[in-house]
Amino acid sequence: MHSSTKQHNFSAGPAILPPSVLKEASQGVRNLNNSGLSILEISHRSPEFDSIAKEAEALVREIAGVDDSYAVLFLSGGASSQFFMAPMNLLGENETAAYLDTGVWSTKAIKEAKNFGNIEVLASSKDRNYVYIPKRFKKPKDAVYLHMTSNNTIYGTQFQKFPDVEAPLICDMSSDIFSRPIEANKFGMIYSGAQKNIGPAGVTLVIVKKDWLGRTDRNLPSMLNYMTHVEKGSMFNTPPAFPIYVLMLTLRWIKQKGGLAAIEKMNKSKARLLYKEIDNNPCFHGPVDKKDRSLMNVCFLPTKKEFTAPFLEMCKNVGISGVKGHRSVGGFRASIYNAMPRRSVQALVNVMQEFGKKYG
């Protein structure tokens, strides 16, 4: 890849990774740590891979402050498999779980959970096509857990604060994991597909309270039972070895950047830059309630429909890719995950300003 052909990549997912990670991952494909072997060719039970998997877990624990009362698992099947695995493992047939509906991903989680127990949807922002985060909802009574989606990738909303409830939280953090400090011990379970903020597609990070497992007496297929993966250290079957390797490299990068507090600072600075332009530019506006705006996925709409095509064209001409909005929202979406450099956000702001001068 020649640097002059490198795009400003605003893709929502799979998404941008740090250049140093891409470089090292390519090296690992050819010759892993001077072993003369490729990461793609070695046994997942080899000492080389064992040390990668151990380092990945240790970095998750260190970066997010996850103690030994939690298991850290690297599974396959995407975040979407956790929509059913969580209730299948944790919710008894006659028990109730509470859910917050903040968009497509929550809706899917709710649909799957209904196969396993009573599901109470405490609040939904569907009435305004999910452009806000519901703040007030009745406290879940006797709920085994409260499930939520911390960042709504499609609509560009994000919980700024986690709800204060008695029930343990299960949180789908697929699009904002490790973008800000978290109080891991507030959660019963956290899960995330890697492909937005911490690696390539193919591995799903699951952090789950150990004493919570085995709480239902449901008969589970081994592969779908968290216990199996806890007991076998995520090596019951062949794990997604290459994605775990790249995830580990990405976590090293996060640590080297100064950890989650430093990452959050950069993310806030990038988001501020872009939202400021959206609010000041006559050609664009932001559909999301300001206090609920996401630091990761920045949605903005054209003030006139006919702006859409020429703006995308102008972006393309300066090497900006991935800013077309999701089909259910329209307009534009710039995903500015951890690895997105500030100068790429500035490049987008520059085009918006140029567009504003021409059409505003």
Ligand X SMILES: *Cc1c(COP(=O)(O)O)cnc(C)c1O
Q: Where along the sequence are the contacts to ligand X (CB under 6 A)?
A: 13, 78-80, 105, 149, 153, 172, 174-175, 193, 196
Closer to ligand X by CB, 14 or 214: give it. 14
Asked whether the beta carbons of 123 and 140 are under 8 A apart, the reply is no
Closer to ligand X by CB, 193 or 331: give it. 193
Closer to ligand X by CB, 193 or 302: give it. 193
CB of 43 to ligand X, least distance (A): 26
**In the annotation, is 141 catalytic?**
no
CB of 10 to ligand X, least distance (A): 15
Identify the active-site residue in 101, 176, 196, 209: 196
Q: 223 is written with which tokens? A: 């592969």
Question: Helix, strand or coil for residue 3?
Answer: helix
Q: Select the residue whose beta carbon is closest to ligand X and give its number.
A: 78
CB of 132 to ligand X, least distance (A): 17
> How many other C-beta atoms are found inside a 10 Å radius of the C-beta of residue 2?
5
Which residue in 9, 11, 55, 3 sits closest to 249, CA to CA? 55
Closer to ligand X by CB, 86 or 352: give it. 86
CB of 250 to ligand X, least distance (A): 16
Closer to ligand X by CB, 13 or 286: give it. 13
1-9 long-range contacts, CB within 8 A, separation 24+:
5/319, 6/319, 7/319, 7/320, 7/321, 8/318, 8/319, 8/320, 8/321, 8/344, 8/347, 8/348, 9/321, 9/322, 9/340, 9/344
CA distance 127 to 204: 31
Closer to ligand X by CB, 149 or 234: give it. 149
Identify the active-site residue in 105, 253, 270, 292: 105
**In the annotation, is 196 catalytic?**
yes
Closer to ligand X by CB, 193 or 239: give it. 193
CA distance 146 to 156: 21
CA torsion, ordered 201, 175, 118, 144, to nearest 10 deg: 110
Which residue in 267, 335, 295, 246 sits closest to 59, CA to CA? 246
Give me the DSSP letters along 144-194.
EEEEEESEETTTTEE-SS----SSPEEEE-TTTTTSS---GGGEEEEEEET
CB of 294 to ligand X, least distance (A): 11
CB of 206 to ligand X, least distance (A): 12
CB of 60 to ligand X, least distance (A): 17
- Preceding omega of 140 cis (within 30 degrees of 0): no
Asked whether the beta carbons of 201 and 243 are under 8 A apart, the reply is yes
CA distance 183 to 190: 11
Catalytic residues, by residue number, are: 105, 172, 196
